[in-house]
Structure formats: C-alpha cells, structure tokens
Structure 1
Amino acid sequence: MKKIPLKSHHKFFGDSKDFGGQYTPEILRPALIELEKAYKKIFPSKAYQTELKDLLKHFVGRPTPLIYAKNASKILGNEIYLKFEGLANTGAHKINNAIGQVLLAKKMGKKKIIAETGAGQHGLATAAAAAKLGLSCEIYMGEIDIARQRPNVFNMELFGAKVISVASGTKTLKDAVNETLRVWSKESSETFYVLGSALGPYPYPDIVRDLQSIIGKEVRKQCKDYFSDLPDIMIACVGGGSNSIGFFTEFLNDKQVHLIGVEAGGIGKATGQNAARINKDMRTGIAQGYKSIFLQDKEGNLSPTHSISAGLDYAGIGPQLAYLASIGRIEFTSALDSEVIEALKFFAKHEGIIPALESSHALAEVINISKKTKNKKIIANISGRGDKDIFITAKAINPKDWEKFLTEEIKRIKNVRVKDEK
C-alpha cells in the first residue's frame, strides 16, 4: 500500500485536487488567510502546544479510557474495546477541537467566538471552552435540532453562550453552517469561527484533524495495556467526520488495521431517508467552502437527510475521509435507526455505558460484523455519551412511560406556578 499523506497537499487531498480546497466568497479570503498563518505559526509553537497540553489534561480530562467490553466480547465472539470519549469534559470528543480552536483564537487576539452545531455537542464544547478562556460566544443551531437537543441548549446557555435559532432551509446542521459562515464574513476582524467537524474550507479540515488526532494517539499507547500488537479492526461513526478522522489518523499507514466508518442509514434508501454519502451513486460537489462527496440532486443542490442522531444528518463528508474512501483505505457502511437503538440497548445492558446515538452507529457495526467475523480485536470509538439524547431515546424505547413522565412534569410545573402567583 502506498504511504498515505497525513496532511492536505496544496489545500487538497488527492493528487488531482480531488477533495478539499478553499471555495469561498472573496469577502472570506482575508479571514482564511489570517487563519492559515495562525495555523502555520501559532499552532505549532511551543507556547501554544504547552498550554493546549495543560488544558487537555486539567480541563478536558485526557486521556480518556480504553475499556475492555468483557461481557459483550463473550456474547459476540470478538475482543471488543471501547475508546470512551464520553468521559471527556462536556461528554464527547468535540471538546478536543473546541478548546484547541478557542485557544488559537485567543492567541490571535480575537474577542468573540461563533460556532455551528447539530447534535449540540460541538456547541456545548465551544461554549465551555469560551467560558474557560474568557471569550464571548454565539452558537447557531437549526430550529429542528434545538427542539430535539434541548438539554444541550440549556447547558450552552448556562455557560453564557447565546444560542441562535436558524429557521431557514431544512432547519438543521447544513443551514446552521450556512448562517455561521454568513455572520463570519461580516465580523471576521474580531470574531473567530470554531468549525466543528473536519470539513469546510482549508485549513479547517487539517486543524480539526490535528486536534482530534489525540484520540488515535492515545489508543495506540493504550493498546499496550491489553495486547502487544495493533487491533484488527477500528470502527467509528461518520457525520462530517471529526471523531473518525481523529480516531483513524494514527493508523492510516498500518495496512493490517481494517478501518470502518459507519454512516447514518436512517429509515431507508430513498432520498431524504438517510445520510449515507458513500454509496454506489455517490457524487462529488462543492458546498460550504470545500469539494467533497455530497448527497445532492441532479441540479447539484444538497438533498434532505435523515438520521435518528442529530450529529450524523449532514449531506456532506469531510474531504480527507472522501479521499480515503476513494482509495479504499476506509470501508464505509451504514446503520439503520432501528439497529442503532438495539446497539445502544445491548451495550447499556451488558457494559454499563449509555453511548450517544451517533456512537451507537459504530456499535451497531460491531454487532453486525460479529455475526460473520470472530476472534478479532475490535476497537470502537464511543465519541460521546447519550445523556443529550434522552428526548429521542426515551421516546423510541419506551414511549408510553416517557409521555406519562412529561405529562406529569408539566402538571407539576403548572402547580408550582399557581402557588408562586398566589
């Protein structure tokens, strides 16, 4: 296997400028040039890296554990290990990237942070990082995502961030990204855009990958606690791709390690029923500042998507992951919503963890692959924990009890208000 470059080459991944790039309006050029200079000078500096290392240890709580899933292993017939990013501060891998970018913003002299979010974990992490480092923060979030991720919205506001609802288009992550880019184009002199996934215009895919690569670096060291060799299979869910590229990067040139990315299979194969970009009909396009593989119609417009998890229902995929798919280094599969719920229930019951719905896509693949493959060392990246998903999972698993609880809670709130008014 030809050695895979770990950085983009001239802003692109692939020898023919296949994926990546910097396709933005002229108004954003100065901001991106400034960011590129900071990435090349401030980011690798000893002062920045020393402070980042300290924050990762004493604020984020790294390293996160690699857990041997003993009970699941016995049932499924493989050695299964879980990289549990859910134990990082704010409950997911997103904080690795958020604290790094907010620190970079502060070193650049920026006063305000803006960010987009889908599932809310990136928004939550960015709000926490901004609070820690003393910068003001605005989070743009689709109206639909706000409704289904209310716990995260509450916590973002608790951190002092202003959550701004985006009611245009599909009212989800795609539209939140568009709105954040629009605001950044007007306010870039004092504002820093903390992009949440390994996509967008260069240098964002590289910055996010570099900050999230701490996951894979820790996994390589932690493998020594359990076995002397490398794992056979590594599995991660894939939305935009920040957790997966961070998990995989350290192992890209270890050809004996089989890498699997799991997309949102949703409820079916028809347009609008899933968010599986890597398929036999996949098409390359340009959107939101970069060239990659997108779900799109014949006119090139981004197609509607669906996933039970708000963090995976994005129409595009990060350019480096698209490149790695094109050369066959990463195998892509998908998991149906129903399989995701069953995987969540299985690992909760047998391993005492509640994974995020996004992460449960990876666990669904662990279960599926174990039906045909045995005696393999498998590591799944549990990119976040499932507290944030309670309004979705409770409704999906036990709708009657959940409806009863909410009804009674509303009555209690009304009774308290009546008493207060008296």
Structure 2
Amino acid sequence: MSLLPVVLLSGAMLSAPALAQDAIGIANLAFRTGPFAAAGTPLADGQRDYMLMLNERDGGVNGIKLTYSECETGFSTDKAAECYDRTKATSIVTQPWSPGATLAILPKAAADKRPILAPGYGFSAMAEGKVFPWVFNPPVTYWDGTSMMLKSISGGNLDSLRGKKIVLLHLDAPYGEEPIPLLQEYSDTFGFKLLPIPVGVKEMQSQSTQWQKIASERPDFVLLWGWGAMNAGAFAEAIKTGFSMDKLVGIWWSGHDEDLKAVGAAGKGYRTLSWNLPASNAGVMQDIRKYVVEAGTSLTSAEELDQLFYQRGVLISMLSVEAIKAAQEHFDKRIINAEQLRWGLENLKIDADRLVSVGAEGMIGTFSTSCDNHAGHAAAWMLSWDGEKFVKASDALMADRAMIAPLADLEARKYAETHAPWAMNEDCKL
C-alpha cells in the first residue's frame, strides 16, 4: 500500500509528534494510478495546492499548519478500506472517492466517529444527516444533479418530456446506477420512456454495442453518467455514429477538459452539468499560481490550472478548511479533533461574503449545511464545450427537492434498517 505524505510546510517533513501537536492532518484516498487516474490526478493536485497555498500565504489556518497526505488506492475498494485504517489516526477527515469505497468505509467511520467528506459523490441519501451523522456530500447530490439535468433538457418544463425517450448511458457500477430510481420516478410522473444502457468497466473504451443500441432507439436525449475512460469512449462513439452532441448531456464527472480536447471541434455542443464554474482569474487561483505553481512546489503545470477538475479539487479542500475554521471558532480551539470537525461540516455557511473572503467568488454556488442537511443542495450550471473549452451555458439550476426528499428519506431509513443497530443523530429533530 502506497502512503505518500505531502506535508505542507515549505516542503519540510514533520515528525509524528509535531504533526499531532502543531498541525491538522487531512488525508485523501487518492487515485493517481489505475483506470481513472486521468481524472484523479487533477482532482488531487487541486486539493494539495490549495492547502499548500494557505500554508505559504497565511501560515495555515489560524496559525495551525495543514498537512495533506495521499494514500494511493488506484480506485480500488479494498485498497481504500486499507487506506482508511492506515490514515484514520492522523487525519481528522476521510475522503474515499470511490462510491464502492464510500459504502465500504461508511459503517467503519460511523463506529469510529470519523467524518467522511464526499463532495458531489457517494449515494444521495447520505445527505440525510439525521440518519447519517458522520458523512457529508456537499454541495450537491447525484439526485440533485439528476433533477437539474432534466430541468435543463426540458427547458424548465418537465411536461415537455412527455412521450420522449431518454437513454441513461451509465457505468455498470453503483455510481452509474445511482440516478435510476429517481429517473424512474420522473419517468412515471412526466410520461417519458427511460432506457438505461450500462457500460462495463471492460467496455469503457469500446462502446460500439451500446451506441448501436442508441442508434436503433433514436432517443431524444442521452444522459451520460460516465467516469474516466468511459467518457472519452462515449464521445468517440457519439461522433462516429453522428449523434447530435447537443443531445448528449453529462453529469459533473463527465466533464473532464482533457477528454473533450481529444475530440476538439467535433465535440462542440456537448453539455455537462457542473457544481463548479471555471474561473482561472479568481483570487484563490491567482494565489495558487503565485505561492505554489510559480514557486515550483506544485505537481502540475500552470496551463492545467484552467482545468475544471483541478479547480474542483481546490474547492473540495476549501470546504474542508472552512469546516476547520468553523470548528475552531465554535470550540475556541486551534487544534481540533475529528468529532469537532464533524460539527464544522454540519455548520458550513458558504455564503457570498465567505466566497469573496476566500477568493472563490463565482466558482461555486452558495449553500449551508445543518443537522439534517449534510449536502447543502446548492446550485449547478450547464457548461457547453465550444470546441476548445467549457463555457457557461445556463443560469443557476436548482434541484426539485420536493421530488427528491421522499425517496432520499426512504433510502436512508432502508439503509439504517439493513445495518441495524445503526446509530442515528439523536440530537437532530425528526
């Protein structure tokens, strides 16, 4: 198992006692290797560089250095579980990434009272804080994204989808299956035909069978719930079969710049939902460029700072740090523990003033978390590929919480019953 500490104190290594006394540790169960490394690398780079920037610019958070460490999983559930066991003593938060890893680690983390941070991933019902006290998936859930995608393709009038056919081209894994229950609810309510088409891990780069099916079905839209090489494979096949790119719409993990750069102008019109907006001139990005990239301590090049996934990694670390700040203030302590960070994650307030203060104005929607709302349910936007880059293609989209809430409550309680006895948040008003 590869455990790679990247201690953010001008590149210096700290001893174990110093880490415990003078720094706050944050571990990332990274995946710079394996079938999804192309996506995992910029996400990890963005996370790392944000913390390094804070240490260099501000001396950390309220005088406390941040240490960022990576335990390489290759996106393997088994390796992620091993990494959790290795890092839980030195990290106040766990970031599992893989949906399978999140499911595997969740019961252990709850028993250990260690918070899990899963921004925009995991399973959607985790946002129900009264059932899941120790896991957080801000700023939006997959079911939020599902609702927003349908709002977008319908022009805000879901009744206009009646009689239409929508394909869900999805990875054949828990991640890819996540939107199906909610999509089926929408299908039943608004009268469109839903056709899920799975893509196995071994088929990601060769989807001819799936796209032959799509061509024969002639759907009105294809929702792409892809990951890693599956996205590039889908773009190649869509172009090859002549499918209209403006009818292909992806979830936020299907919007990696490098995948679209590979097809260039042929991908023009493709849209992806994203909970972060590209903003390379934002204050935080300028500071990362100054204190980290130009100083030669980043693992990435200056050109890659424009990547949507890199900037998403920056924002993920921002969420961790803002939770640390909230906990430090509430408990009047500079060194906080995992249980205190849980309070901070449950009391995030990412409003307009906060975004200005951290230099992230225009990069992410405003939201707040609470005892029973561990996601925040912020806005997201459609981005369109213009042949060279992603550009904003919609106003802020919000999920239909009235449609989602009953299903989220049902699935959360079902999980608790299956894993009984399950420790609820008794302080959270039901």
Q: Is TM (by shorter chain) over 0.5?
A: no
Q: What TM-score does the superposition give when structure 1 sets the normalisation length? A: 0.29
Q: What TM-score does the superposition give when structure 2 sets the normalisation length? A: 0.28
